Amino acid sequence: MYLRRRNPKDDHRAAVSAGLGLLFAVLATVTGAIFARIMWGAYWNWDPRQTSITILLLIYAAYFALRGAVPDSEKRATLAAVYSILAFVTVPFLMFIVPRIYFSLHPDVMTNPDPDNRLDSAHLRVLLASLAGFTGLYVWLYTLGSRIEAIRDRRQQEVL
């Protein structure tokens, strides 16, 4: 959106969203490591999904390093927007292709053709409730972060 409209609010929204993406990725990594320890006896197994989330965390880190390295706000917003588009291209590869190419400790219960290895209705309800809850949490935190950025913008305009 920033590349299309050149509105600083779009850059702020993208930064807030990326920050939340990083937060959720870190939480998924930490809780996944705890789950891995319980299920497979080790916190980290270099499973394709674990490796993919590590790469995702590095992509987020590079995004914030880029934002921190460019002092000019307009140039920072443009570079961050272009980087975001390029980084998004990796998502289908990391999330859908790599985990299905290599053996994974994670079961593929959603798309498995074997009816005995599919997700049962109780687990599916928990999954969908969690999805709805975390989506709601994301929307709430995104709204809060966007409001904070708008207040910062107004205060900065008052100072100038």
The rounded distance, in Å, linking the Cα atoms of 155 and 148 is 11
What's the pLDDT tens digit per position in 9-53? 999 999 999 999 999 999 999 999 998 899 888 898 888 888 888
Examine the pLDDT at 122 and tell me if it is beyond 90: no
| CA angle in degrees (0–180, nearest 5) for 10-11-14 | 85
What's the pLDDT tens digit per position in 46-87? 888 888 889 999 999 999 999 999 999 999 999 999 999 999
pTM for this one?
A: 0.82
| pLDDT on residue 52 | 87
